[in-house]
Amino acid sequence: MTARPGLPPLHLLLALAVMAVWGSNFVVIKFGVEHLPPLTLAFLRFALAFFPLVLFLPRPKVPWRNLAAYGVLIGAGQFGLLFTAMRADITPGLASLVVQAQAFFTIGLAVWLNGERPAAYQLGALLLASAGIVTIALHTDGSATPLGLILVLGAAASWAGGNMVSRAAGPVNMLAYVVWSSLFALPPLLVMALVLEGWPRISAGIAAADSLTWASVVWQSVGNTMFGYGAWGWLLARHDAGSAAPLSLLVPVFGLGTSALVLGEPLQPWKLTAFALVMAGLALGVLWPRIRALPL
């Protein structure tokens, strides 16, 4: 990988496009769960992420157990819980914000599993973000129910577990890694859908699905997987992580903004306060090491 200071304009635009796709996808998910049961939507998402791309991408040279662990954590864990929460228990904008708690769960797992010691700035970042989550929990206007918060935090914890698994895989083609691991997301999602949603509800949802629903399903594969992971992997192969990683802070910005513009999600003062607290925590965690390393 060739490290270069910053991103050239065209690469920056590509990175911003990826963040816009990943952020606005929370609204797309909301369209999908209007008709399809959430676990069924998650199953279809990973089925399309796996096939037909698996025919064109060689399997990454990592153990099968690593691919299986990532697939289960991200498929059944992150997206299964997230889609379920977004059915009726949290707005897309807040979901895009709360799920960013994965950054702090990842730090916690690194402390627990690898014996890493959290730095003072990481603890400060955690306190700021936690204050934002508490602010959301204290408001009961229907934007987020207690169940919705628990489910999205569970999704964030699963995402963090997936981060640890992918870190253990070492340098890989991330698009191929996501595609092949999707195979292992399918069995648990199918079982969960059949047991928790039932075939009558699944078949009724499929029968009621309109063009917008199916566009949401396809977008999960084409937008998030093919374009998102493909473009992001291409950028990371050409630039150091420090140049690209801070842009991930824009995902909840696009998430909340798109939800407000497209769905009319209200931006009450308390919601903006929660957003500011969580974003401040994320920014401190991501940017402080880079700021500290700047020459005086």
Residue 68 confidence (pLDDT): 97
Helix, strand or coil, per DSSP, at residue 245: helix
Instruction: With both helix axes pointing from N to C terminus, report the angle between 38-50 and 211-219 in degrees, rounded to the nearest 10.
Output: 50
Residue 58 confidence (pLDDT): 94
Q: How many residues does the chain have?
A: 296
Residue-range domain boundaries for the chain: 9-107+143-269, 108-142+270-296
Quick: pLDDT tens for 78-89: 999 999 999 989
Quick: pLDDT tens for 112-167: 877 778 888 888 988 999 999 999 988 877 788 999 999 999 999 999 899 889 88
Please check whether residue 109 is in contact with residue 161, taking contact to mean a CB–CB distance below 8 angstroms.
Answer: yes
Please check whether residue 102 is in contact with residue 163, taking contact to mean a CB–CB distance below 8 angstroms.
Answer: yes
Residue 294 confidence (pLDDT): 66
- The rounded distance, in Å, linking the Cα atoms of 296 and 290 is 13
Q: What is the DSSP letter of 144?
A: B
pLDDT > 90 fraction of the chain, expressed in percent and rounded: 61
H/E run at residue 203: helix 199-208
Read off the pTM.
Answer: 0.89
Residue 3 confidence (pLDDT): 41
Query: How deeply is 23 buried, as exposed, middle or buried, from its count of CB atoms within 10 A (0-12, 13-18, 19+)?
Result: buried
Is the pLDDT assigned to residue 296 strictly greater than 70?
no
- Adjacent-strand bridge partners of 90: 144
Average pLDDT over residues 211-236: 88
